[in-house]
């Protein structure tokens, strides 16, 4: 068995582990809601239950499988494993899961688990079924240390934006339930199941700010690489344009949030639009447009 095939098997193992974790997170979250009383503080804080333990353990196991699959992919290709759409999906999803697990060491966000693992399973299945190509070398233009720096930082930024996106979606859900004409018992359940919307929004803002800094370095690194490879730092390539659009949207979001008082639902929708442009930059641009970055196209 070749290393590339072994990597694919580990990806399937990763999908299996994340799926089990997603179910366990969902069961535990439903128990939180069902057993809720009028509490202001989410009972996820300090909780130790069997299902939550299973969920975190299988998420961690899936992340280990994910790391092994990524390393094997890189060894099989003889380079870093983020040079095409399948590998972007593989490594970007890994970054999101690692960000989720890492932030959990600092802040209680296990309530995000069901949503993070759902996205991870979805993205990996799309990558396996729609973007998969055999592990191979890259074009001469990509044989540069900038492939490690420029694309690597972009992958990390995408993982950060993914976790912030989940927070923004949950913020909208919590805010809508707070405003809805529902019974007090239902309100109490959602108070316990999810933190207050302003806490979700504040955490999403901080994580988006980190992602924005990473994305800024992504664009700077891309400009330096373009200058070395093509003689100009900016070539109006579709990938360059959409990367800049992503930067502008997140810059506007951070500016509006800090200086114009755009908080609450407006900030959440702003961040969600930003994440939609990130996804389009990594997929739609490669599918719909041809340009200097066409090496990341779909498999033929």
* Mean pLDDT estimate for the chain: 85
Question: How confident is the model at residue 38, as a pLDDT?
Answer: 44
**How confident is residue 147, by pLDDT bands cut at 50, 70 and 90?**
confident
Question: How confident is the model at residue 173, as a pLDDT?
Answer: 85
Give the 3-state secondary structure of residue 128: helix
Q: What's the whole-number mean pLDDT along residues 252-275?
A: 87
Answer with the residue of higher pLDDT: 184 or 29.
29
Question: Looking at the predicted structure, is the pLDDT value of residue 214 above 70?
Answer: yes
Q: What's the whole-number mean pLDDT along residues 205-234?
A: 89
Nearest one of 288, 286, 264 to 133, comparing CA atoms: 286
Neighbours of 28 (CB within 10 A): 23
Q: What's the whole-number mean pLDDT along residues 33-49?
A: 56
Answer with the residue of higher pLDDT: 33 or 211.
211
Question: How confident is the model at residue 42, as a pLDDT?
Answer: 47
Neighbours of 5 (CB within 10 A): 13
Nearest one of 216, 208, 214, 211 to 253, comparing CA atoms: 208
Question: How confident is the model at residue 218, as a pLDDT?
Answer: 94
The gap from C-alpha 119 to its chain's centroid, in whole angstroms, comes to 8
Q: pTM for this one? A: 0.89
Question: Looking at the predicted structure, is the pLDDT value of residue 160 above 90?
Answer: yes
Distance (Å, rounded) from C-alpha 277 to C-alpha 285?
10
């Amino acid at each position: 068995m070749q290393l590339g095939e072994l990597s694919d098997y580990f990806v399937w193992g990763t999908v299996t582990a994340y799926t089990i974790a997603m179910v366990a997170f969902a069961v535990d979250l439903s128990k939180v809601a069902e057993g809720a009383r009028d509490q202001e503080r989410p009972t996820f804080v300090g909780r130790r239950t069997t299902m939550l333990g299973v969920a975190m353990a299988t998420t961690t196991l899936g992340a280990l499988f994910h790391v092994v699959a990524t390393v094997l992919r890189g060894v099989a290709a003889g380079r870093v494993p983020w040079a095409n759409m399948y590998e972007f999906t593989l490594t970007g999803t890994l970054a999101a899961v690692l960000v989720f697990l890492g932030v959990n060491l600092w802040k209680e966000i296990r309530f995000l688990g069901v949503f993070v693992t759902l996205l991870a399973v979805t993205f990996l299945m799309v990558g396996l079924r729609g973007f998969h190509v055999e592990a191979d070398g890259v074009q001469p233009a990509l044989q540069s240390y900038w492939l490690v720096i420029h694309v690597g930082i972009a992958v990390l930024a995408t993982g950060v934006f993914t976790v912030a996106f989940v927070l923004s979606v949950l913020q909208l859900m919590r805010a809508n339930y707070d405003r809805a004409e529902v019974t007090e018992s239902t309100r109490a359940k959602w108070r316990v199941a999810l933190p207050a919307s302003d806490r979700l929004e504040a955490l999403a803002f901080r994580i988006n700010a980190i992602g924005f800094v990473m994305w800024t370095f992504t664009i700077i690194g891309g400009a330096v690489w373009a200058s070395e490879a093509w003689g100009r730092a900016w070539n109006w390539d579709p990938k360059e344009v959409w990367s800049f659009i992503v930067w502008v949207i997140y810059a506007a979001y951070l500016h509006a949030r800090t200086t114009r008082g755009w908080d609450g639902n407006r900030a959440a929708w702003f961040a969600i639009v930003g994440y939609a442009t990130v996804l389009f930059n990594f997929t739609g641009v490669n599918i719909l447009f041809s340009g200097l970055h066409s090496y990341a196209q779909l498999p033929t």
